[in-house]
Amino acid sequence: GLSWELEAHPTLPKGKTVAVVVLDGWGEATPDQYNCVHVAETPTMDSLKNGHPDTWRLVRAHGHAVGLPTEDDMGNSEVGHNALGAGRIFAQGAKLVDLALESGKIYDDEGFNYIKDCFAENTLHLIGLLSDGGVHSRLDQLQLLLKGSSERGAKRIRVHILTDGRDVLDGSSIGFVETLESTLSTLREKGIDAQIASGGGRMYVTMDRYENDWEVVKRGWDAQVLGEAPYQFKNAVEAVKNLREETKCSDQYLPPFVIVDDNGKAVGPIVDGDAVVTFNFRADRMTMIAKSLEYKDFDKFDRVRVPKIKYCGMLQYDGELLLPSHYLVSPPEIDRTSGEYLVHNGVKTFACSETVKFGHVTFFWNGNRSGYFDSSMEEYVEIPSDVGITFNVKPKMKALEIAEKARDIILSGKFHQVRVNLPNSDMVGHTGDIEATVVACKTSDKGVKMILDAVEQVGGIYLVTADHGNAEDMVKRNKAGNPALDKSGNIQVLTSHTLQPVPIAIGGPGLHSGVRFKRDVPNGGLANVAATVMNLHGLVAPSDYEETLIEVVGN
Ligand code: 3PG
Ligand code: CO
């Protein structure tokens, strides 16, 4: 059987306190006014970098380095934390769905055959994020699924869209809805009754995460299942245009709407006998809707009417809860994560973030598993996030509370690894509010300082890194790297992540003085961090892990 025991590191001792800090959405880019990491006062992060080539470097956080289909795919928290925690690069959901669609295997597997039974008499509903962002879903995958399903018997199809503007430019939703409408009209020409049935902005409708605010999921349920929403339109393009104008909401925050027929009746509520697919591959923002669609016992909101449906996820979203039980594509099998190894090797582990990022340093870190490996060795603390606001309003978020918690735990000496995610640069960066993002970065830096001070006091070690870029570039750029202006000559604010590398820094009084970053891993990425952390705990990583970033020189 598998041995969990790790070899002792030849030089580095066991038993040190190691703080692992992940700055969410903190990349390295050319300094200019749209680089909030640069604009912000960040004395702590600056001091880790300046003049310390042996203990500060950049690592890759996008594309192939984190298991995404292409080098044009920006990084994201799911794949970033998966790589950080698992120490290996796994083909991720985006890629696995591409392969299953390309080979047609998706149509032979259990999930599709399960829902196919409904096609003759009932409706197929597809619910998910409508964009080409590639973080949670992709429009081209939806289009292939629509084609494939209709060729395999689906006669009545309803799409429930969630508008993006977060992984893609705000305002781009209109174009994505137009593209989808033309795909659906092609299907209609072939005699298939295919329409958009409902919609809403992803941050306000359906795509909450980590149980931050069930109202978000309820709004989606009402529109998608019950066919009820505050706004009704005959056509989805008109809906998005109109709501952007009328409510002044950005794509991310559009209120829910339903599409109605000439008699004012919703065209696509979900009813008994229907098939439902949530077509996002990424888990965090699908888990809650999956529970509401799948669980018999459910008390998070009043579902009013619970249709007997056949429900299938694009992927299985939670490997521990086995949720949902039916899925079109098998998720990456992220096994033997560093977290699991460390508890087997006596490393007591503490992890903390606030709600909106809590699952990143636990669930994603542990290979998309909720829960502890060994509750006697681990403690995970969630600090409640503010609910019902956009984080540009409170850009400090709970970063200092998270840092205080980490500080207290470090000083308590009860844990060997103290792991946190500081959310600000990402969550505020996603709002597109540049001034607020500067405050966010400054706050994260203060949080880092607080943690590093505690490390100093206990003679520990720190490793500070990030999961992907965001706040370091807040503007859409042309090939030359200058802001790309829109038709009216304005800059276009970038709410999304980036392709930039992220910093990694190590240090602290407990770090052996001969430790430095190796010079022969120029393409090191996030997946190299796990072996590095294992070394800092005095252990050698399993041989199939991506190699460590550090070496010990001199004596
Ligand atoms: C989100 O879900 O908020 C964005 O699509 C991606 O952000 P994250 O990968 O940093 O969570
Ligand atoms: Co993000």
* CATH number, residue 249: 3.40.1450.10
Looking at residue 555, its pLDDT comes to 60
42 Cα–ligand 2 center, Å:
20
Q: Is residue 382 part of a domain?
A: yes
| 423 shares a domain with 491 | yes
Residues 72 and 106 in one domain: no
How far, in Å, CA of 455 to CA of 507, rounded? Answer: 9
Q: What is the pLDDT of residues 131-153, one digit of tens each?
A: 999 999 999 999 999 999 999 99
Q: Give the residue from 281, 296, 329 where a domain finishes.
A: 329
pLDDT tens digits for 25-46?
A: 999 999 999 999 999 999 999 9
204 with 278, same domain: the answer is: yes
| Mean pLDDT score of the chain | 98
Whole domain around residue 306: which residue ranges? 94-329
The response to whether residue 282 sits with its C-beta less than 6 Å from ligand 1 reads no
Known catalytic residues are 77
In a shared domain, residues 130 and 39 = no
Last residue of a domain, one of 329, 356, 385: 329
pLDDT at 424: 98
Q: Which helix (H) or strand (E) holds 77?
A: helix 77-86
Least confident of 311-315, 339-343, 368-372, 544-548: 368-372
CA of 170 to the centre of ligand 2 (A): 15
Confidence at residue 272, expressed as pLDDT on a 0 to 100 scale = 98
Share of residues in the chain with pLDDT > 70 (%): 100
What is the value of ipTM here, to two decimals?
0.99
CA 494–ligand 2 middle distance (angstroms): 12
Ligand 1 contact via 357 beta carbon (within 6 Å): no
| pLDDT band, residue 257 (cuts 50/70/90) | very high
Using the predicted structure, report yes or no on whether residue 109 has a pLDDT greater than 70. yes
Is position 12 within any domain?
no
CA 527/CA 290 separation, integer angstroms: 29
User: Other C-beta atoms within 10 Å of 186: how many?
Assistant: 15
Which CATH number is 344's domain given?
3.40.720.10
Instruction: Tell me, yes or no, whether 490 and 370 share the same domain.
Output: yes
Ligand 1 near 382 CB (within 6 A): no
How many Å lie between the centroid of ligand 1 and the Cα of residue 364? 12
Beta strand pairing call for 378-383 and 349-354: parallel
Same domain assignment for residues 138 and 83:
no
Q: Residue 545 corresponds to which tokens in the numbers above?
A: 């892990």
**114 in the same domain as 251:** yes
Question: Residue 2: what pLDDT?
Answer: 81
Q: Are residues 104 and 221 in the same domain?
A: yes
Q: Please work out, in degrees rounded to the nearest 5, the angle formed at the alpha carbon of residue 200 by the alpha carbons of 195 and 204.
A: 160
The ligand 1 atom at the shortest distance from the C-alpha of residue 207 is 2
Is residue 2 one of the residues assigned to a domain?
Answer: no
Q: Where is the domain boundary, 329, 361, 376?
A: 329
Which candidate, 54, 4, 7, places its Cα nearest to that of 554?
54
What does the pLDDT average to over 153-159?
A: 98
Strand order in 124-130's β-sheet?
Answer: 231-233, 257-259, 193-201, 156-163, 124-130, 275-278, 310-315, 327-329
Beta bridge partners, 353, equal 382
> How many domains in the chain?
2
Residue 1 confidence (pLDDT) above 90: no
Average pLDDT value for residue range 121-136: 98
Whether 97 shows a pLDDT value over 70: the answer reads yes
Q: Would you say the CB of residue 77 lies under 6 angstroms from ligand 1?
A: yes
Ligand 1 lined by 426 (C-beta under 6 Å) = yes
